[in-house]
Structure 1
C-alpha cells in the first residue's frame, strides 16, 4: 500500500461501499419506518431471490483475496520477499475476507437473521484489527505521514464503535448511518493520503518526499518538512482536509435524506390514537348496564 495506486484502489473500493450503504440505509429507514427498521450489514443489488443478490459480499471477498495476493507478492515488484508492513496490510484484508465469507455462507445456507450478531462481531473485528495494525505498524510513520495516519486511526475508531453499537442495537438508525459514513470517510481519506503523500506536486509547501530504498526499516515515501513552521502549516492543511472531506460526506447524506419525503407516522401517535379509540368503544358497554332513573 506504499504507493499511490495502493491508496487509490482500496480507498475507492471503501468509498463506493460506504456510499452504497448510506443510500440503502436511508432508503430502508424511509420504507420501514422507525418502528420496523433493522440494520443490515450488507444490501442486495436486486431482489433477494435474484442471482445478483449477494454481489456485494462476493465483491468484498474477491477484492480481499486479490489485495492479499498483491501484498504477499509485494506489488509492483512481484516477489516473495517477506516484508512485515506488507503482511500487516494483508492481515487487514484477511479479516475483511473472513467477515464477508462467513456472512455470505450463512446468508446462502441459512437465509435467516440468527447469525446477525456473529456477523456484526466479525465486522467490528475488521475495524478493530485495522486500528491495532495501524497503531502498531512496523513501518515507523513519522512527521506529516505519521500525522495523516493518526487522523486515519480516529476514523477507524469511530467505525469500530459504530459497528459494535449497530450489533448491540440493530434497530438504531443513527448507529447504522454513522457506520456507513465512517466507511466512506475511510475510503476518501485513503485517497487523500495517496495524493498528498505520493504526488510530489501536491506535497505541502516546504516539504518533500523522501523515497526509501532497501529494507523494511526505511520510511517509503515519507514526507519530510524542512522547517518547523512548514510542518505546522502542513498539519493545519491536513486538519482542513479532514474537516472538508467530512463536510462533503454530510452534505451528500443530507441530499439523500431529503430525497425521500416524510411519510411515516411516529409510533407514539398511533398508540395514543388506539387508546382513544378503545376508550370510546368502552363507553357504550359501561352505560348499557344501567337503566335511566327518573326523579320526581
Structure 2
C-alpha cells in the first residue's frame, strides 16, 4: 500500500518533466519542422545557458530525494531481519530500485552532454530512458504488495500508461525525426504524473468513491457493485485526463505556431491540403 505523499511526490516529478517535454516538442516543431529531431530531454533556453541542463538536474535531484525517502526513511533503517531483506519493507526497496534507474539515466545523460567520457547519441539515451520506464513497469506489474479490487484497478491503469511511455520512447529512438513519437512521449509522461495525483486524491484523499473506504492500509468496498462503480469512475477519470491533456496540447500547438511558427509549418499544411483535394 502507498500513501498520499508517496504518490504526489513522483507524480509532481513526472508532471513537470512531461509538460516541459510537450511544450519543447511543440515549439521545436513549430519553429522548424524540417529539422525536427526527437529529444529524450530538452534544454532550457536563455539565461546565458546557465539553465540548459535544468531538466536533467530536476530528474537527478528529485529521484535522489525520493529514493532516500523510500530507502532510508520509510524502512526506518531496518534493512535486514534475520540475515535477509526486511519483508515488511519490500515495497520500499522496490520503489527505491525504480527511482535508482531514473537517477542513473539523468547521470548518464549529464555525463554524455557535459563531458567527453561517455558520448552517446540521442537514440541511445532514449533506450536508457525506456529501460528506466521498463523497470517501473515491472515494479508495478510484479509488485510484492498485492493490489486488489479498486486499488488494483488504479494501478492497472498506471501500468498501461507506463507501457505507453516505453512504446513512445522506443518509437522515437527508431524514428528520430518523428514529431508524433516525441509528442506522444511527453503526453504519456504527463498523463502518468496526473494519474499519480488522481490515485493519491482518490485512494488516500477526499475523492474516495461512495461505498469504499481506506482502513488499515487497505481499500475496501461494501459490495461488489460499489467496487465496480469505483472502477468505472476510474475509467472516466482517466478519459477526462486524456481529453484535457489533448485539448491543452492542441492549444499549445496553436499558440506555438503563431508565436514561433516557421514558414515550413504553413507550407506543410498547404501541401497536405492539396493532396487531400487531389
What is the aligned length?
257
Query: Which structure 1 residue ranges, 4+ long, deviate > 6 Å from structure 2?
Result: none
Distance 1:57 1:111 in 2: 17
Contact 2:112 / 2:119 at 8 angstroms: preserved in 1?
A: no
Contact 1:74 / 1:80 at 8 angstroms: preserved in 2?
A: no
Which residue matches 1:59?
58
Q: Please point out which of 96, 104, 114 is paired with 1:90.
A: 96
Which residue matches 1:80?
78
Matched, 1:158 2:157: no
* Unaligned 5+ runs, structure 2: 80-85, 272-278
Distance 1:202 1:162 in 2: 31
Which residue matches 1:25?
25
Which residue matches 2:140?
134
Structure scoring higher RCO (CA < 8 A, sep ≥ 6) equals 2
Distance 2:19 2:234 in 1: 23
Distance 1:210 1:145 in 2: 13
Contact 2:112 / 2:120 at 8 angstroms: preserved in 1?
A: no
User: Normalized per residue, which structure has more helix?
Assistant: 2
Contact 1:72 / 1:80 at 8 angstroms: preserved in 2?
A: no
Q: Secondary structure at the match of 1:92?
A: helix
Could you tell me how far 1:47 is from its partner in structure 2?
4.4
Which residue matches 1:285?
none
Relative to the length of structure 2, the TM-score reads 0.87
Greater CA drift, 6-15 or 21-30:
6-15
Matched, 1:256 2:252: yes
| Alignment root-mean-square deviation, CA | 2.1
Contact 2:111 / 2:117 at 8 angstroms: preserved in 1?
A: no
Distance 2:9 2:120 in 1: 34
Which residue matches 1:195?
201
* Unaligned 5+ runs, structure 1: 212-220, 270-296
Provide Cα deviations, 1:133-161, integer angstroms capped at 9, x if missing partner.
11000000111000000010110111110
Relative to the length of structure 1, the TM-score reads 0.82
Between Structure 1 and Structure 2, whose CA radius of gyration is higher? 1
